Amino acid sequence: MLSAYPSVLADPLANTYVCVAAYSALGAAAVALVSLAGSRLARRLSLRANLALVVLTTVLAVVAGTAFAVHKMVLTPQQMRVVLVVCAVSGLVAALVGLVLAHGVLLDARRVRELAAALAEAPQRRVPERARPLRTKELEQIAGELEQSARRLGEAAARERALEAARRDLVASVSHDLRTPLAGLRALVEALEDGLAEDPTPYVKSMRVEVDWLSRMVADLFELSRLQAGRTARRTDSLPVHDLVSDTIASAQPMAQALDVSLAGSAPPSLMVTGDAAALMRALANLVANAVRYTPAGGRVFVEAEQRGETAAISVSDTCGGIPAAHLPRVFDVGFRGDPARTPGADAGAGLGLAIVKGIAEAHGGTVSAANAADGCCFTLLLPLG
């Protein structure tokens, strides 16, 4: 192998190739060094200037390398002029083509900048569909990410507006609901202070009822704030659905008997869910209590549990007569109670029970829904199986 090198170096044609390559590389390197020095000055220039610098550097490097090599070759002056003219014309055409292609990149960059400016001015507006994709893959990806960010910002703004509207409704609803028991307490206290009551026992009982109602409202508000803040305790107990249903029915039976409402239920003993027993008990109790309150005397409330795929479905159906179709999408909103005429009094609460049910269901990875049935409505709580 080593004996081959002297023969190669002794070959005049090989020496010519080596010399031409060396001189070409030297000429191109000279242009590259000048361009690198100029690129430091072009860092703060526009994208157009930087693209032009890249195109011209590439073309000039080729032309300079060729011209430098030709100058060292054994050519007649006429041949050298011909080669230099060819290099000049080819370099000019290459530079023009490169600048035209770079102009397309500039147009893409301008469209991305205009898109970003438009989204920055009005992030809540609908993102317009682009007629065609951009020429440059990277800029197309940037434009797509900007559009996705704009859509997420719009969705977040819509959720924020909905939450703000719900907060305003809650404040208005709670303020209205607090006014009645506070006015009643004030009247009872004034009556006792003025000595108008010969026997204060009925007054004290009435005050106890109002205080209990206020305590329930405060507890519901506290629980709702914890759910919305994501600070709900997440236990991982394995719970039999049969026990949840039977315990809920047992606790709600006195209220159902007082309102002359039949309350019953059934659940398979083998059906299990995982979660916080107290929270799930409260969610189911809210659904049952809500059904009992709105069912007229002589009506029926039935709680049934079954397995649906990978979830446990707990349904609470009643004979309340149904919910107006316009109210169904809002029954789980904070403070929503539908038609005021259907609110049976102070015992109905401040419209927070169903919102708490929704928060507990979502905290456990489940859902809750409402639908009208034949002679009433049905609330269905879906929970992942244990």
Q: Nearest CA to 72 among 120, 141, 112, 26?
A: 26
Strands 272-275 and 311-317: unpaired
pLDDT under 70 in the chain at which residues? 1-21, 23-24, 26-28, 30-50, 53, 68, 70-76, 118-139, 170, 173, 176-177, 228-235, 335-351
Supply 267's token pair. Answer: 């659940």
Identify the architecture of domain 237-384 in CATH: 2-Layer Sandwich (3.30)
Tell me how long the chain is: 386
Phi-psi region of 45 (alpha: psi -120 to 50; beta: other; left: phi over 0): beta
Q: Output the pLDDT for position 192.
A: 81
Q: Output the pLDDT for position 331.
A: 84
Rounded CA-CA distance 309/366 in Å is 13
**Cross-strand bridge partners of residue 109:** none
Residue 337 Cα distances to 94, 113, 164, 256, angstroms? 74, 48, 18, 20
For tokens 């030297």, name the residue: 26
The answer for residues whose C-beta is within 8 angstroms of residue 184's C-beta and 6 or more apart is 206, 210
Q: Output the pLDDT for position 9.
A: 45
Rounded CA-CA distance 91/88 in Å is 5
- Are 312 and 305 spatial neighbours (Cβ–Cβ below 8 Å)? yes
The answer for residues whose C-beta is within 8 angstroms of residue 293's C-beta and 6 or more apart is 259, 344, 347, 348
Chain centroid to Cα 31, Å, comes to: 52
For the chain, which residues make up each domain, given as ranges? 4-121, 237-384
Sign of CA dihedral 113, 119, 122, 128: positive
CB < 8 Å & 24+ apart, contacts of 156-161: 157/123, 157/124, 158/124
**Cross-strand bridge partners of residue 369:** 380
Rounded CA-CA distance 106/49 in Å is 10
Supply 383's token pair. Answer: 């929970």
Q: Output the pLDDT for position 113.
A: 73
What would the DSSP string read from start to end of 112-167? HHHHHHHHHH-TTSPPPPPSS--SSHHHHHHHHHHHHHHHHHHHHHHHHHHHHHHH
Q: Output the pLDDT for position 44.
A: 63
Q: Nearest CA to 357 among 232, 170, 241?
A: 232
Rounded CA-CA distance 214/194 in Å is 25
What would the DSSP string read from start to end of 336-363? --S-GGG--SGGGTTS-HHHHHHHHHHH
Q: Output the pLDDT for position 49.
A: 67
Supply 375's token pair. Answer: 């002679």
Q: Output the pLDDT for position 325.
A: 84
Q: Nearest CA to 234 among 380, 368, 359, 354?
A: 359
